[in-house]
Amino acid sequence: LICPRADGTTNFYLPVNLFHIDLELAFIDQVTALGERLIVIHGDDTLSKVALQNAVLGFQMHLRATFTTQHVLEKHHLMCEAFDWVLGEVESKFNQALVNPSDMCGTLAAQSI
């Protein structure tokens, strides 16, 4: 990165890894997009949209905390293809975990089934 000095006479160089910065933004955008794709409550009215935001808010916070750029790049060493696969698996497991309200039962009833 070349930055001009305030006096305009000479330039000075800063060592910046621009690809690393772009990669971090891509990870953040993908996690945000995944949080927006998770649909628990269907409907186009205002009440349904607010209920959807409230229902998914905790899971979105958990996603952002789990998939921080530092964890993804430094701890798990995930690159773009692997990270896409992980986010796809999270989305598919989330959608598989959704059940109809009539399919739920209590813990005692589940033990006796």
pLDDT for the residue numbered 104: 61
pTM: 0.61
**Residue 18 pLDDT grade (very low, low, confident, very high; cuts 50, 70, 90):** very low
Residue 72 lies in a domain: yes
For the residues 23-48, what does the mean pLDDT come to? 81
d(CA 57, CA 81): 26
For the residues 54-82, what does the mean pLDDT come to? 80
Residue 16 lies in a domain: no
d(CA 9, CA 5): 7
Domain that holds residue 44: 24-96
Residue 56 lies in a domain: yes
Residue 88 lies in a domain: yes
Residue 113 lies in a domain: no
Angle at 52 between CA 40 and CA 25, to 5 degrees: 95
Residue 84 lies in a domain: yes
Residue 108 lies in a domain: no
Residue 31 CB contacts under 8 Å (≥ 6 apart), including other chains: 63, 64, 67, 87
Residue 38 lies in a domain: yes
Q: Work out how many domains the chain is built from and give that number.
A: 1
d(CA 56, CA 84): 21
